[in-house]
Chains A and B, each alone.
Chain A
Amino acid sequence: MTKANLLLRRLTQAIRKLGAVTLFFVGMLQALPYAVRRPALVSRQVHNAGVLSLVIIMTSGFFVGMVIGLQGYDAFSRLRQEDLLGAGAALTLLKELGPVVTALLFAGRAGTALTAEIGLMRATDQISAMEVMAIDPMGRIAVPRFLGGVISVPLLTAIFNSVGILGAWFVGVQLMGVDNGAFWSQMQEYVETGDVNEGILKSVVFGVAASLVAVFEGYTAEPTAEGVGLATTRTVVITSVLVLILDYMITAFLL
Chain B
Amino acid sequence: MTDAQADRPMIEVEDVRFSTAGRVIFDGMSLTVLRGRITAIMGPSGTGKTTLLRMITGQLRPVSGRVLVDGQNVPGLSRHELFALRRRMGMLFQNSALLTDYSVFDNIAFPVREHTRLPETLIRNLVLTKLQAVGLRGAAQLMPTQLSGGMGRRVALARAMVLDPDLLLYDEPFSGLDPISMGMVLRLIKVNNDVLGVTSVVVSHDVEEINQIADYCYVVSGGRVIGAGTPDELKRSDSELIRQFMSGAPDGPVPFHYPAPDYRQQLLNEGQRHD
Partners in one complex: yes
Q: Which A positions have Cβ atoms within 8 angstroms of B? A: 120-121, 124-126, 128-136
User: Is B97 in contact with A135, judged by CB distance below 8 angstroms?
Assistant: no
User: Is A135 in contact with B89, judged by CB distance below 8 angstroms?
Assistant: no
Q: Which residues of B contact A129 (CB under 8 A)?
A: 91, 93, 97-99
Query: What is the number of residues of chain B that contact chain A, defined by CB distance less than 8 Å?
Result: 20
Residue B264 at the A interface, CB < 8 A?
Answer: no
Overall SS of chain A's interface: helix
User: Is B93 in contact with A133, judged by CB distance below 8 angstroms?
Assistant: no
- By Cβ-Cβ distance, the 8 closest A-B pairs, closest first, are A125-B97, A129-B97, A134-B86, A134-B83, A134-B87, A132-B91, A133-B111, A132-B57
User: Is A133 in contact with B86, judged by CB distance below 8 angstroms?
Assistant: yes
Q: A126-B98, A126-B100 are in contact. List 17 more A-B contacts (CB 8 A).
A: A121-B99, A121-B100, A126-B97, A126-B99, A128-B54, A129-B97, A130-B99, A131-B86, A132-B57, A132-B59, A132-B89, A134-B83, A134-B86, A134-B114, A134-B115, A135-B110, A135-B114
Q: Which residues of B contact A130 (CB under 8 A)?
A: 99
A34 to B86 alpha-carbon distance, docked (Å) = 18
User: Is B110 in contact with A128, judged by CB distance below 8 angstroms?
Assistant: no
A120 to B54 alpha-carbon distance, docked (Å) = 19
30 CB-based A-B contacts, threshold 8 Å: A120-B100, A121-B99, A124-B97, A125-B93, A125-B94, A125-B95, A126-B97, A126-B98, A126-B99, A126-B100, A128-B59, A128-B93, A129-B91, A129-B93, A129-B97, A130-B99, A131-B57, A131-B86, A132-B57, A132-B86, A132-B89, A133-B86, A133-B110, A133-B111, A133-B114, A134-B84, A134-B114, A134-B115, A135-B110, A136-B83
Q: Which residues of A contact B87 (CB under 8 A)?
A: 134
Q: Which residues of B contact A135 (CB under 8 A)?
A: 110-111, 114
Q: Which residues of A contact B95 (CB under 8 A)?
A: 124-125
Q: Which B positions have Cβ atoms within 8 angstroms of A? A: 54, 57, 59, 83-84, 86-87, 89, 91, 93-95, 97-100, 110-111, 114-115
Smallest Cβ-Cβ distance to B79: which chain A residue: A136
A73 to B87 alpha-carbon distance, docked (Å) = 66
Smallest Cβ-Cβ distance to A131: which chain B residue: B59
A128 to B91 alpha-carbon distance, docked (Å) = 10
State how many angstroms separate the Cβ of B43 from the closest Cβ of chain A. Answer: 20
Instruction: Name the residue in A120, A130, A133, A136 with the highest tally of chain B Cβ atoms < 10 Å from its Cβ.
Output: A133
Q: Which residues of A contact B57 (CB under 8 A)?
A: 131-132
A121 to B114 alpha-carbon distance, docked (Å) = 19
State how many angstroms separate the Cβ of A117 from the closest Cβ of chain B. Answer: 8
State how many angstroms separate the Cβ of A30 from the closest Cβ of chain B. Answer: 10
State how many angstroms separate the Cβ of A43 from the closest Cβ of chain B. Answer: 14
A129 to B57 alpha-carbon distance, docked (Å) = 10
Q: Which residues of B contact A133 (CB under 8 A)?
A: 86, 110-111, 114
State how many angstroms separate the Cβ of B72 from the closest Cβ of chain A. Answer: 14
A201 to B141 alpha-carbon distance, docked (Å) = 44
A133 to B100 alpha-carbon distance, docked (Å) = 16
A136 to B59 alpha-carbon distance, docked (Å) = 13
State how many angstroms separate the Cβ of B120 from the closest Cβ of chain A. Answer: 14
Smallest Cβ-Cβ distance to B89: which chain A residue: A132
A120 to B98 alpha-carbon distance, docked (Å) = 12
State how many angstroms separate the Cβ of A45 from the closest Cβ of chain B. Answer: 11
Q: Which residues of B contact A125 (CB under 8 A)?
A: 93-95, 97
Q: Which residues of B contact A120 (CB under 8 A)?
A: 100
Q: Which residues of A contact B114 (CB under 8 A)?
A: 133-135
Q: Which residues of A contact B83 (CB under 8 A)?
A: 134, 136
Smallest Cβ-Cβ distance to B99: which chain A residue: A126
Q: Which residues of A contact B110 (CB under 8 A)?
A: 133, 135
A151 to B266 alpha-carbon distance, docked (Å) = 59
Instruction: Name the residue in A124, A129, A130 with the highest tally of chain B Cβ atoms < 10 Å from its Cβ.
Output: A129
Given A129-B93, A132-B59, verify A124-B100 contact (CB < 8 Å). Answer: yes
A134 to B86 alpha-carbon distance, docked (Å) = 6
Q: Which residues of B contact A131 (CB under 8 A)?
A: 57, 59, 86
A128 to B111 alpha-carbon distance, docked (Å) = 14
Q: Which residues of B contact A132 (CB under 8 A)?
A: 57, 59, 86, 89, 91
State how many angstroms separate the Cβ of B38 from the closest Cβ of chain A. Answer: 20
Smallest Cβ-Cβ distance to B156: which chain A residue: A129
A253 to B196 alpha-carbon distance, docked (Å) = 66
Smallest Cβ-Cβ distance to A34: which chain B residue: B114
Q: Which residues of A contact B54 (CB under 8 A)?
A: 128
A121 to B98 alpha-carbon distance, docked (Å) = 9
A5 to B89 alpha-carbon distance, docked (Å) = 48
